[in-house]
Structures are given as C-alpha cells and as structure tokens.
Structure 1
Amino acid sequence: MTRIAVGGFLHETNTFAPTKATFDDFVQGGGWPGMTQGAEILDVMRNINVGLAGFVETAEAKGWELVPTIACAATPSAHVTKDAFERIGKVMVEGIASAGRVDGVYLDLHGAMVTEHLDDGEGEILARVRKVIGQDLPLVASLDLHANVTPEMVQHADALIAYRTYPHIDMADTGRACAEHLALMLASRSRFAKAFRQLPFLIPISWQCTTDQPMQQIYQRLTALQSSAVPTLSFAPGFPAADFAGCGPSVVAYGTTQAGADAAADEIAAAVVGRESAFDGRIYLPDEGVRLAMELAKSASKPIVIADTQDNPGAGGDSDTTGMLHALVRNNATRAATGVLYDPQAAKAAHAAGVGATVTLALGGKSGIPGDAPYQGSFIVDSLSDGKFVASGPFYRGRQMDMGPSAALRIGGVSVVVSSRKAQLADQAMYRYVGIEPTQQSILVNKSSVHFRADFEPIAEKLLICAAPGAMPADPATLPWKYLRPGIRLKPNGPVFMPR
C-alpha cells in the first residue's frame, strides 16, 4: 500500500503588522481549525475548504495510507514567533522522520511565512523535511495564491501548487491537485522539470481578485496551458507586505521537458507583466466611501458592501480599527452594520450589562495604528452570543467558528459586531451569529479585502473599497520597505526599490 506522510502549517505574515503569531494562536486557529495532531487530523480535515481536506479525500479514494503529523494555522499577523515555529516544525519533521516507510510527503503550506528568526519559513520547513526523507522521495506542497515563492522553496519541493481563486474557494481543490500530481510522480517514478520566474512589481491585494480583470483572464490562460506535457502550472501574485527579498509575484511550472516548463512559465510571466497597468483601481477615503454608499443605497434593493481593506485580519490587521465606524456615525448612516471588530474587553462589558442595556465604551482602536483611536461612545447592547457557529459561505465552507463571547452593539443607525477573537469577515454568518441579518442592511462594512466577495457579491448591489487607517496599506508603495530585492517596483508602474 502507498503510504504518504502529511501535515499542514500555514501563516501569512505581514512584517509591518502590530501583533505576532504565538504558539497559542496556532492552537486556537482563528478562522482555521484548531491545532490537531496524529490520527485526529484525518477526522478534522474533512468536508471543509482547506488543502489538507482535499488531499485526504483524494488520497483515500486512491487507497493510500496516510501518516498524519500536525495540522495548524493562525490568523495572519506579524512574524511567527521563534518558539511557535520551532515547536510546530519539530512535531512535523520528527513525525515524518519516525513514520517508517513512506512513498512521499504532502504538506499544506501558505508560502508567505516570515518568523522572528527566518525570512523564509516555508523554505526552511521544506529543507528540513527534505533532509529527513532524502532526495529520492517526492515532496509536494499546496500554497496560498498569496505565496511569496522563493528559490529555496522551489529547490526543495518536487511540486508547489497554488490556489487559483481569490476569494480562495478552491483550497480543497488545490489539495486534490497535489494528490493527482503526486500520483503522476509515483506512477512514472520520475520528477518533472521545473521553471521558476519572479516578476518585477508588487501587486496590491485588492486587485488580485480572480473574478475581476486582469486576474480572471490570466488564470484562464494558465488553465489552457496546462496539459500532459505541463501537468502543473501556478501563478502566485504574492503577499505584498512581507519585507524580505522573496516578496512578490511568481510563476512556477512543471513539465515533462525543461523546454516545455520554461515556455509555459514565460508565457504566464509575460501575460502578467503585459497587464501591469490593469493591477490598479479606485479606492475611497472613509467619508467619501460612506457618503457614496448612502447615496447609492437610496435606490438600491440590496446592500452596498464596503471593504475596510486596510484592517483586514486576513492580511495582518488586528480587526479593531475604528476609521470606518467613525465615518458611518459621522455621516448619520442608517441600517448600516460593520464587523467583525475585535475587542474582548468590550464584548465582556456587553455580556455583563445584558441585552437592552446601554454601555459606554472606548471601543476598538487598541492596536496602535497611526491615525486610529478607540471610538468613545455609548452603545445599546442588541444581542449577545457565545461566538460559536458554522460558517456556510463558499470561503469558510462548513468550518466550525469560535469567535469567543460576542455582541451586537448599536450606536445611532449603525450596528457593530464585536468579538473576542479575530477572523476575517468573509461569511454572512458572521453577522447572523449576533442577530444581524446582512440582507436587511442598506450598508455593510466588512473587515476584509477580497475573500468577503465569495459570499457577499450575490447579495450586494455594489462593492466599494475604502482605505481607513490599518496595518495593510492598499498601496504597498507606502510601506517602509528595507529588505526587498533591488529593482522590484513597489506597485504597478510604481517606484523602484533600491536599498539605502
């Protein structure tokens, strides 16, 4: 029987963010399943939208025996602590080393992990796994679309396969693709030729959405190029908030010949570079966006949905800035809701006061973001929740969520979802769990950049993007970069980075 060792270790690192990822953050998981080890992984990783779940499903259908090690993820943030990386990495690597005879290894990784002591977390994990399995066993990994792929990652893995959708509704599908690629390698007992290209400009995450152009067209071409001669081809637009030399977009191709892999990689790289000017769009200031939303709502039959993109906890924000809340209240918005605002102290105060009570709070604004501050005001407690619910939208897809003690607070015509844990608002259930029906609002302000689109586009009259103060600037050229590779442009058609 074919035996495959498997594991997962995911983190998207914003090196400019205010809060680091500790071991306990991986234990809890945020919007991801909590840390699991050993056989329990095969129970937890089923029927949910994560790479490991898709791999497990396909591997079992092929009759493979799986040897699970550890699976964990944490909400995007600043650096992963050395303690967390080393403790988790040790379990994963030692689990593979002690697995006995295996025929291959599959890892569910992100591709944009930076730690306190390592710039390239995934490159290090892959190198350590390669060291214990030797050069002959196949090693395959799934990656996030936002992966900052490095030469070291490409060197140590036999295949790196990235998601193709943003919102990431194909995470499980990518795990399945990894299983199929691994099956090809096992059947042929050979490796594929590799081609790797790093591209010359950073792409803002708001314009990496694959349901819009130019990304949609690029991925259509990528799919058309894939064939028996080039079985795997990936374009990763990158995560443009990790200050190290590997940050940026990339293309990775695997072919039966080096010429075939090179040709496919070159064609996709040229398609991206040729559309550089299209990776940009309109972003509104908070008051400007709220006033436009209020005007549009007058004749709309569905909500106007605003992305509070710079405080996206899926990109390293603490999900607690108040710029958009201030704009909603200041402009007298009605039938408006926003969330999820992370403030455990405010949630605790709401629970202590009870439904119907009025609580005076300094809400949010505790992460020290320049230009941001707590919202000082009196709020009515409309509802309370223990924070546990099932997310049913296409992105989270069936995950058991635990946001901790939560509340719906109301000030004027604005309702606020307040939680004790952080997760990107990418599912309508993240309003409903505190009694707010999103389809009945005129304006929704989601702390997300793109993932919310998967569940909110069908109920939205129009989508807007606003830039209130936050940890993930919509324009990467505004970040204080120090360690990028020389010559890369800081945004499409933007200034060139040169180290000082």
Structure 2
Amino acid sequence: MASSVTQDDVNNWSVRMRMSSKKPVIVIAGLGCESSAFSPARTEAAAFHPRRGDEIIDANDFLQEGTDLRAAATWYGALTGHALPGGIVTRSGFEALAAEIVERLQRIKHQTAIDGLWYDIHGAMTVEGLDDAETELLRRIRAVVGKSVVVSASMDLHGNVSRDLVHQTDLITVYRTAPHIDETETKHRACRNLVKVLIEHPGGTASTGAPVLPLKAWIPVPVLLAGEQTSTRVEPAKYIYDTVPQIEALPEVLDVGVWIGYAWADEPRNRAAVVVTGWDRQTVERSAERIANLLWDAHAEFDFVAPTGTLEEAVNAALDSKVNPYFISDSGDNPTAGGAGDVTWTLQQLLNRPEFKDASGPKLIYASIPTGGRVINTIQEAGIGATVSLSNVGAQTDNLHAPPLTLKGKISAIKTGDPDAVTEAVLQVGSLSIILTELRKPYHHEHDFTDLGLQPRRADVVVVKIGYLEPELYEMAADWMMALTPGGVDQNLEGLEYKRIMRPMWPFDRVWRSRPDLGARIVPPPTCSLDVEDGREN
C-alpha cells in the first residue's frame, strides 16, 4: 500500500511552479486524542504536548528541506497536539488549545494569503459539552482562513467520521493498517493530495483562480466494533483494506478511506464509514458503495485478533504453555485505547496466585501501574536494592473496578526522564517484576523493558496493558492471549451503557428488518450549504 510521490508528480509540480508567480501557502493545525466515555479520567491541554511553528514542520520527515513536498509549497506551522488516548477532554483544555490555533492562524493570515491547510487529527476526540469536536474545531479554523482554503485531513481509522466533518474538509484520508504502521505514510499522502489539488489541476491556486476540488462520496455503515476485532492482519479486515489500493489506482479516484470508528466514545457519529474522493461522480459513488457493502457483508465475521478468555484462563494457558514468552493483553485498561492505565484489578489477581508468591516461581513482567508522585518519591528515596512497603498504589484515577494496592518488594530499577512516564521503577514481588510509573505509559517496544533491566524474551509471561500486540511485541511473543479484563475500554461493548449512539447498530442489534442504506451520499464542499439529503441518515 505504499504511497509515495512519483516522478510524474514531481514533473507536474515543476511545470506548474515555473508557470506560477508564487508557490501555494499551506498551514498545519489540528488536535488528536482517543477519548473513552467510559473512563473517569479527564484529558487536559498539557497532555497534547503541543508543537508550534517550525516544530511541526521539523517533526515530519517528508517536509524537510530537500524533499519534493517542501519545495512544492510554502509551509507554516500553527499548532498541533496529540495526546495519549484517555478520558474525555476537558472543555477548558480544548478551548485553550483551540483559541491558540485560531490566534496563530490569524497571525499567519496577516502575513500572507493561505491556500491550503493540512488538518492533522485523530478523529475520536470527545470534549465536554461538545459533539463532533474535530468538526467544531475546523469550523473555527475556517472562520479565520475562509471556506475556499483547501483542507486536507489525515486521520486514524479508529476515528469517527460524520457527514459534517466530510463537508468541512475538501480532502480526507486515513490509516490503512491496524496496528498502525502507516501513520507517516498517511500524513504524507494527505499533504501530497493537497499539493496535487493546489498545483496540478487546471485552475489550481498556484496558476489561476480557485482549485478544482474532487467529489466526496460518504457512506456511514452501522457497525461499531473494537479495534481488537478489526485488525488488518487478519480477515475480514485484511481483505477489505486490500481492496483500497485497487480502487485508488483508478484514474478517476484520488483517495479511498475506510474508518472502523472508535468504539468507546458515546456520540451519534460512532460507527464505521467509507469516503471516496475523485473526479467522476459515478466512479466515486460506485467505489464507495463497493467497499461499504464489503464491510457490511462481513460484519458478523469480525472476531478478536487473538484467542480471548478470562484473566484466569489466560494465566492458566500461559503457565501450561511449552513456549515462552507468553504474552497476555490486559485489554480493559489499555492506555493506547483510552483506558486510565491505573486499574489494579489484574495486578491484584496476579498477586493472589500462589504460583507467583515465591521468587523461584514463573517469571512474570507486568507493565504497568501509574502510581503518582508520592509513591515514586518513596521509591527514589529508598534507592535501587532497597526493600520497600508501598501503600495507595494505582487506582488514583479509575478505582471503579478495584481499590489501590499495598505492595512490598525489592526495587531493581529506577529510570527518570521518560516523556510519558516521567519516572519508572521496577518492584520485585515474589516472581513478579512490576513496572511502576509516575504517569501512565504504553509499553510497545522491547527497549521499554530492557531500559529497565528487564528481559522480556526470557520471561515466562509478559502481561501488558494493551489490546492487539504492537509489532515488536507481536514479534517477541511465542504465544499470546487477550484477557477480557475490566476498565475504561472494556471489550464487552454490549455490556457498556451507551446512551447516544444511533440505532440500529451492530452488534447491539442482531436482527435487521432490511439491509441498511449503503447508498453513497455526495457531500458538498464547505462553500456550499449542507442540507439533510433525501431524509436519509445524516
């Protein structure tokens, strides 16, 4: 699914730029966060780690000096921020960041005319008191830059795509892999498509007049599934996403996007969606309908990417396994899906198992429990090698499923300066190596463990707060099971108390009177009004 700038692209851009008196001006802005409505956590502005100005350009390799995209346009960074998935974003945090984006765009606009905007978002951000936060932010952006500025959005396939968002954007693209190994490629494609429209097409901004915009065909698909049920490593998602480059190769098509959606929000936009952009109405409509029907036809076939069971079943399977390391996903509190990360339920069950009571027992690594500054200060004061008793460990944010723990063990490692965790420590309790952190952190890479003196490849069991295994963990695992544990991203969607999603919706509704309406909706550009179309689902 490689998406790169071709020599034809470069040649076309070079010709257009020689004919033009100026290069198009493109600004970059956006916010991204997966926000679980079922977590008690809240996400503040600082969690977005905002980048501003040239920091944004420097963070993207495909925009560096000497690249074709850098040469094709004049680029300005406004503000972008991407928070670790978590709870709902506070209204004050959103308003502060949104106001700064608007203010920075106003300053850029005073310096130069703006032709295009790369909208760098995730698509599953829920904000207190707002629906469809990414659309609301883009409305505010357009109030500054204008409706005729060409906006190209890049998104996570676990984002939720409303008709309003498609209306406010001109171009929109999305990851095509889960786990996401094409994040950079997708952002590159969003910028490449933007430059194509601004420079290559007759009437483009860099030549004369307004750019010629592609048509956008959008189809909502009434399916709501967890990412762990829709990995592109396995069928049926693999086949569906393998269809994307076939359609995108058609000369009348610019981009094809398939969104699974984000399951743990609770908004009317929650569901899967398909968007095809291109130059011929019949082609984009038929292409969107082809993929939407593939998705619906397979809706009952989606299943978890790994064997699943209770935590007890997963631990028993790991201890009975003839191979190691055996990985167990503590899936309900996955911090990269929106879990608070400090649910203690699983760790408490492990501490209760007799197999791990003695240091000579099976070697198990547990990653991880955020504990806050007080516990970490106690660990730092004691130092490596000390035996400590720690109280009030974990459950500082999410104590709905289990209380804080009291732990007694030997400190084997302390590490400071992590951008997520801030400070990390390893506490040896029986045969368990428990990673404690000041703030929550996902453990996705081998060095996350080896930097703490842990050897996951030599462990009998590795328990990680995660859903599907990220690539390095997947490669390390001799075997693997997903434990269906409690938390803010509980995999049992039908057991969660949704209040605002549209119905009917699979899997909440298992019997359908008729096939859902999977006809393509042509969504007008932002320069035109968005009316309810033929009374169909909006």
Which TM-score applies when normalising by structure 2?
0.83
Say whether 1:158 aligns with 2:160.
no
The answer (yes or no) to whether the contact 2:343–2:401 under 8 Å persists in 1 is no
Say whether 1:318 aligns with 2:327.
no
Structure 2 residue aligned with 1:88: 97
Using the TM superposition, give the Cα deviation of residue 191 of structure 1 relative to its aligned residue in structure 2, in angstroms: 0.7
Structure 1 residue aligned with 2:401: 371
Structure 2 residue aligned with 1:396: none
Structure 2 residue aligned with 1:476: 493
User: 1:120 and 1:55, CA in 2 relative to 1: closer, same or farther beyond 3 A?
Assistant: farther
Q: Which amino acid aligns with 2:454?
A: I
Alignment of 1:311-390 (within 5 A): 311-331=333-353, 332-333=355-356, 334-344=362-372, 345-362=374-391, 363-388=393-418
Q: Distance in 2 between matches of 1:495 and 1:377?
A: 51
Using the TM superposition, give the Cα deviation of residue 57 of structure 1 relative to its aligned residue in structure 2, in angstroms: 8.6
Moved more, 336-345 or 146-155: 336-345
Residue 240 (structure 2) aligned to one of 209, 218, 222: 218
User: 1:56 and 1:342, CA in 2 relative to 1: closer, same or farther beyond 3 A?
Assistant: farther
Q: Which amino acid aligns with 1:85?
A: F
Q: Which runs of 5+ in 2 are unaligned?
A: 1-22, 202-210, 357-361, 514-538
The answer (yes or no) to whether the contact 2:329–2:482 under 8 Å persists in 1 is yes
Residue 486 (structure 1) aligned to one of 503, 507, 514: 503
Q: Distance in 2 between matches of 1:61 and 1:25?
A: 29
Structure 2 residue aligned with 1:105: 117
Give CA-to-partner distance per residue, 1:231-261, whole Å, 9 cap, x none. 2001110111111100111111102112111
Structure 1 residue aligned with 2:56: 41
Structure 2 residue aligned with 1:456: 473
Q: Distance in 1 between matches of 2:66 and 2:124?
A: 26
Report the identity percentage: 25
Give CA-to-partner distance per residue, 1:322-376, whole Å, 9 cap, x none. 2322333333242110112211233222112111112222322333443322233
Structure 2 residue aligned with 1:413: 431
Give CA-to-partner distance per residue, 1:59-110, whole Å, 9 cap, x none. 6444321111012121222221111111111222232233221221101101
The answer (yes or no) to whether the contact 1:229–1:257 under 8 Å persists in 2 is yes
Residue 454 (structure 2) aligned to one of 419, 426, 436: 436
The answer (yes or no) to whether the contact 1:313–1:448 under 8 Å persists in 2 is yes
Structure 2 residue aligned with 1:465: 482
Alignment of 1:187-336 (within 5 A): 187-188=200-201, 189-227=211-249, 228-281=251-304, 282-296=307-321, 299-300=322-323, 302-331=324-353, 332-333=355-356, 334-336=362-364
Q: Which runs of 5+ in 1 are unaligned?
A: 27-33, 48-52, 389-400
Structure 1 residue aligned with 2:143: 131
Moved more, 343-352 or 239-248: 343-352
Q: Which amino acid aligns with 2:215?
A: A
Alignment of 1:6-45 (within 5 A): 6-26=28-48, 34-43=49-58, 45=59
Say whether 1:422 aligns with 2:440.
yes
Using the TM superposition, give the Cα deviation of residue 482 of structure 1 relative to its aligned residue in structure 2, in angstroms: 0.8
The answer (yes or no) to whether the contact 1:347–1:420 under 8 Å persists in 2 is yes
Pairs aligned (count): 467
Give CA-to-partner distance per residue, 1:277-310, whole Å, 9 cap, x none. 22123421111111111111xx21x411111111
Q: Which amino acid aligns with 2:402?
A: D
Structure with higher Rg: it is 2
Using the TM superposition, give the Cα deviation of residue 425 of structure 1 relative to its aligned residue in structure 2, in angstroms: 1.9
User: 1:147 and 1:276, CA in 2 relative to 1: closer, same or farther beyond 3 A?
Assistant: same
Residue 82 (structure 2) aligned to one of 73, 83, 87: 73
Aligned Cα root-mean-square deviation (Å): 2.1
The answer (yes or no) to whether the contact 1:15–1:78 under 8 Å persists in 2 is yes
User: 1:158 and 1:46, CA in 2 relative to 1: closer, same or farther beyond 3 A?
Assistant: closer
Q: Distance in 2 between matches of 1:23 and 1:355?
A: 34
The answer (yes or no) to whether the contact 2:327–2:479 under 8 Å persists in 1 is yes
Structure 2 residue aligned with 1:184: 196
User: 1:58 and 1:126, CA in 2 relative to 1: closer, same or farther beyond 3 A?
Assistant: farther
The answer (yes or no) to whether the contact 2:342–2:398 under 8 Å persists in 1 is no
3-state secondary structure, aligned to 2:309:
coil
Using the TM superposition, give the Cα deviation of residue 217 of structure 1 relative to its aligned residue in structure 2, in angstroms: 1.2
Q: Distance in 1 between matches of 2:46 and 2:259?
A: 29
Structure 2 residue aligned with 1:393: none
The answer (yes or no) to whether the contact 2:63–2:70 under 8 Å persists in 1 is no
Q: Distance in 2 between matches of 1:133 and 1:63?
A: 20
Moved more, 465-474 or 279-288: 279-288
The answer (yes or no) to whether the contact 1:475–1:491 under 8 Å persists in 2 is no
The answer (yes or no) to whether the contact 2:342–2:440 under 8 Å persists in 1 is no
